[in-house]
Structure formats: C-alpha cells, structure tokens
C-alpha cells in the first residue's frame, strides 16, 4: 500500500487507497475510491476502482488478454441487483387547521424494494472503428405504506392537496371532503429505469495506458415514477362498506437524450484475473411529462385529469467497478457494482400537494436520484 487520503465536502466524503502489485516483472498500480454521499441524513456508499498509473506488464501476460480489446467482438450479458435512494417530495399529510395535531406522513418513510434488472452489451467493429452498443432495464422499484386512525382523538389529518389548511395554491375540483380529516391514507409508489447507448471506443495507448479506452457516445434514458394515493374518509370506507374515497395518481416521466464521454479499463493482475471498470458522464435534454389525476368514488363526475410537459437539462454520472475472472478460452465471469446518479429530473412526490390545482404547470424538474448495487456478468470474446 502506497498512500491513503480523504476529502471531505458538504455532502460527501471521498476516501482514496492506492495499492501496488508486482506481476511478471512489472508493477501495477491501482486506486480504490470509496465515495460516501450524504443525502437527507442517509449515507450511501459506492466503491470505484480505477488504474491510475502506466503499466509495465511482463511477457507472462499476453497482450491479447488486456481488456478492453480493440479489433475484437465481445458480448456481455449482465444481471443487475439495484436499490435507489430515499423518495423525495412534499409531505403527503398536513393539519386540518394550522398548528393542529395530525399524523405526519413523509415520502421518505417509503422504503423502495431492491429490484433485479439486466444489461446487454455488444462490442464490435464497424467500418474499422470499435463501436459499443448497450441497453439495460431495472425495476420496478416498488414500495407502499398505509396510515390509519388519522382522525383519532385530537388528530385531524388532511391529505396535503386538501385546501382547508391553505397548504397549496388552490383546489379546482368540486370537493376534497373525503381527504379532509381522513381516517386512512394509502400510498403506492413505483420507479422504473431503462435506456440504451452507442459509444465509439478509442484506445488510450497513445497516453501510455494499454487496456484503457475512451468512450464517446450518445445515450437515451427513461426514468419514470408512478405514485398512487387513496384517501379513506371513515373506517367503513377503509373496510369497503362505503365509498367516501378520493384517489390520486401522478406519473412523472423523464426521457433523457444526449451525449456522454467516459473511460473504461480492464487490466490483468494475474493471467486469469482482471480489475477495472468504467466511468461515464453525460449532459442530456430531458423531455419531461407529468400526468395527474384526481377522482372520487362517491361522485364519478368530480374528476380532474391533466398533463403538463416541457424540456430541461439533466446530467448523468455512472460508475461500474468490475473484477473479471477468465474461466475458459475467450470466456469471463465479471463481478462488480454500479452507481448511477441522475440529476435534473421531475419526481412524482413533488407534484402531490398541488394535484388538485389545475393552474399548477410547474414540472419541478430539479430533482435527483441515485441508484446503486451489484452486478454479475458473463463476457464472451470472439475473433
């Protein structure tokens, strides 16, 4: 081990550990970086590993085994197991009168399940250039919670969009009485993430970094949230014997399209074990659409449906540390991690308080979301 240092920021801690290993007469230096992100008092960690010095690999490791190769075709089939950070947004509940007693129900109380996903990547040669095609799907990240007894004793709890406590600009539906001094509130929330990309892969040999390559590409991402809420006025409504019920649904759809750059590397530490990964960053146009609806079971004519859309800018940063093990000729097992941060997006929870306000056109596309987890892949190399 050669050195250790850390960097402290307002919302993050970065710890670096640089190590060295001698293989076949050469010295390999790599750096492990632990990034701790502080967000809403919750700590998230992601580990990235990247080579930080030129390599001098001896003849015991063949040059053709240094990954990523150019001039070859590779197919990667990858399983993902990912989680996401806390759900953002305004509170789902508020007091019936300012300063009154109520049950506070915040979006951060929802705990999204971890979800499986997949990613497929093909590296090939087109017109003499190395091109990489990749696509993935992750989700849905689902969660739900119900509060009951919200009108017991001195408690007088309203759904935030109910206008009695003047917590939003105004209600444009006939009545939100079922959401006023409610007995129970049920929330269901779902997040979905998928996308695809095409990259030009340019070797970085001219920098004295064999096995490194720059990525220049275009990428598209879809990040969507679906929030559903059911407000039950009384116990009998919750039990299903009456229909004094208000329903809300909000869908926030972020469609990102833009350009990215990146760096990928995969270097041998023995003849059959490799370490490296990739990091990518991009700037995107975000085509946002927010669909909102409010309805009452006890009055089918009291309905509000609207859809707002617009365009903003978003940013994406993705880190994929990996360890590859060669288990057969031209076949590898890869184990690693993933951290993907998306910034400049609209989130469903931020629309909840004003869902009954037909004049509210604010997309609130200034949110961010972090996905993180583990990956496992099979890599097959051809020609």
Per-residue pLDDT tens digits for 209-247? 677 889 999 999 999 999 999 999 999 999 999 999 999
Residue 33 within any structural domain of the chain: no
For residue 66, report the phi and psi dihedrals to the nearest 5 degrees: -80, 125
Assign 99 a pLDDT band (cuts: 50, 70, 90): confident
pLDDT tens-digit series, residues 333-357: 999 999 999 999 999 999 999 998 8
> Which one-letter DSSP state was computed for residue 233?
S
Return d(Cα 339, Cα 319) in angstroms, integer: 5
Tokens at 166, concatenated: 């003047």
- Inform me whether the pLDDT recorded for 82 exceeds 70: yes
Residue 125 within any structural domain of the chain: yes
Strand, helix or coil for residue 107: helix
pLDDT above 90 covers what percent of the chain? 60
Return d(Cα 338, Cα 78) in angstroms, integer: 12
pLDDT reported for residue 198: 97
What lies within 8 Å, CB to CB, of 81 at 6+ separation is 114, 115, 116, 117, 373, 374, 375
Residues 150/157, Cβ–Cβ less than 8 Å: yes
Residue 152 within any structural domain of the chain: yes
Q: Are strands 93-95 and 115-126 parallel, antiparallel or unpaired?
A: unpaired
In which element (H, E) is residue 243 found?
Answer: none
C-alpha to C-alpha distances, 260 to 50, 80, 319, 341, nearest whole angstrom:
19, 22, 13, 14
Phi-psi region of 208 (alpha: psi -120 to 50; beta: other; left: phi over 0): left
Assign 50 a pLDDT band (cuts: 50, 70, 90): very low
pTM as predicted: 0.81
188: CATH: 2.40.128
pLDDT reported for residue 171: 66
Residue 277 within any structural domain of the chain: yes
Output b/e per residue, 315-324; b: 16+ Cβ within 10 A. Answer: bbbbbbbbbb
- Inform me whether the pLDDT recorded for 105 exceeds 90: yes
Residue 181 within any structural domain of the chain: yes
- What is the total count of domains within the chain? 1
- Residue 93 sits in which domain range? 67-382
pLDDT reported for residue 301: 83
Count Cα atoms within 13 angstroms, Cβ side, for 361: 5
Span 160-187, mean pLDDT?
A: 77
pLDDT reported for residue 9: 52
Calculate Rg over the CA atoms of the chain. Answer: 25
Residue 75 within any structural domain of the chain: yes
User: Per mean pLDDT, which range of 33-37, 91-95, 179-183, 362-366 is the poorest?
Assistant: 33-37
Residue 3 within any structural domain of the chain: no
Residues 12/36, Cβ–Cβ less than 8 Å: yes
User: Per mean pLDDT, which range of 4-8, 156-160, 271-275, 297-301 is the poorest?
Assistant: 4-8
User: Per mean pLDDT, which range of 61-70, 261-270, 311-320 is the poorest?
Assistant: 61-70
Return d(Cα 73, Cα 121) in angstroms, integer: 11
pLDDT tens-digit series, residues 133-163: 999 999 899 999 999 998 888 899 999 888 5
What mean pLDDT value characterizes the chain? 82
- Inform me whether the pLDDT recorded for 42 exceeds 70: no
Return d(Cα 235, Cα 182) in angstroms, integer: 9
Residue 312 within any structural domain of the chain: yes
User: Per mean pLDDT, which range of 37-41, 70-74, 374-378 is the poorest?
Assistant: 37-41
Return d(Cα 268, Cα 323) in angstroms, integer: 10
């Amino acid at each position: 081990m050669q050195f250790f240092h850390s960097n402290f920021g307002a919302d993050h801690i970065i710890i670096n550990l640089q190590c060295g290993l001698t293989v076949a007469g050469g010295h390999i230096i790599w750096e492990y970086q632990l990034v701790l992100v502080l967000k809403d008092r919750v700590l998230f960690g992601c580990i990235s590993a990247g080579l930080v010095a030129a390599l001098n690999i001896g003849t015991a490791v063949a040059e053709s085994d240094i990954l990523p190769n150019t001039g070859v075709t590779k197919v990667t089939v990858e399983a993902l197991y990912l989680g996401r950070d806390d759900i953002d947004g305004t509170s789902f509940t508020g007091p019936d009168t300012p300063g009154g007693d109520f049950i506070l129900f915040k979006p951060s109380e929802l705990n999204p399940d971890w979800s499986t996903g997949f990613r497929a990547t093909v590296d090939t040669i087109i017109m003499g250039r190395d091109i990489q095609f990749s696509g993935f799907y992750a989700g849905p990240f689902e969660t739900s919670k119900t509060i009951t007894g919200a009108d017991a004793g001195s408690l007088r709890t309203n759904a935030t969009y109910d206008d009695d406590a003047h917590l939003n600009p105004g209600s444009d539906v006939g009545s939100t009485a079922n959401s006023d001094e409610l007995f129970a509130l049920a929330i269901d929330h779902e997040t979905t993430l998928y996308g695809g990309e095409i990259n030009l892969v340019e070797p970085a040999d001219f920098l004295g970094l064999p096995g490194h390559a720059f990525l220049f590409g275009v990428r598209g991402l879809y990040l969507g949230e679906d929030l559903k809420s059911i407000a039950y006025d009384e116990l009998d409504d919750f039990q299903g014997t009456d229909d004094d019920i208000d329903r809300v649904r909000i869908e926030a759809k972020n469609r990102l399209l833009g350009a990215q750059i990146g760096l990928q590397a995969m270097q041998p530490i023995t003849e059959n074990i490799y370490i490296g990964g990739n990091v990518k960053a991009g700037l995107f146009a975000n085509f946002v659409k927010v669909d909102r609806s409010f309805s009452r079971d006890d009055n089918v004519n009291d309905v509000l449906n609207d859809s707002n859309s617009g365009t903003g800018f978003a940013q994406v940063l993705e880190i994929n540390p990996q360890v590859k093990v060669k288990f057969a000729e031209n076949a590898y097992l890869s184990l690693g991690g993933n951290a993907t941060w998306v910034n400049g997006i609209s989130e469903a929870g931020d629309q909840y308080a004003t869902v009954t306000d037909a004049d509210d056109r604010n997309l609130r596309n200034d949110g961010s979301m972090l996905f993180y987890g583990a990956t496992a892949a099979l890599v097959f190399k051809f020609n």
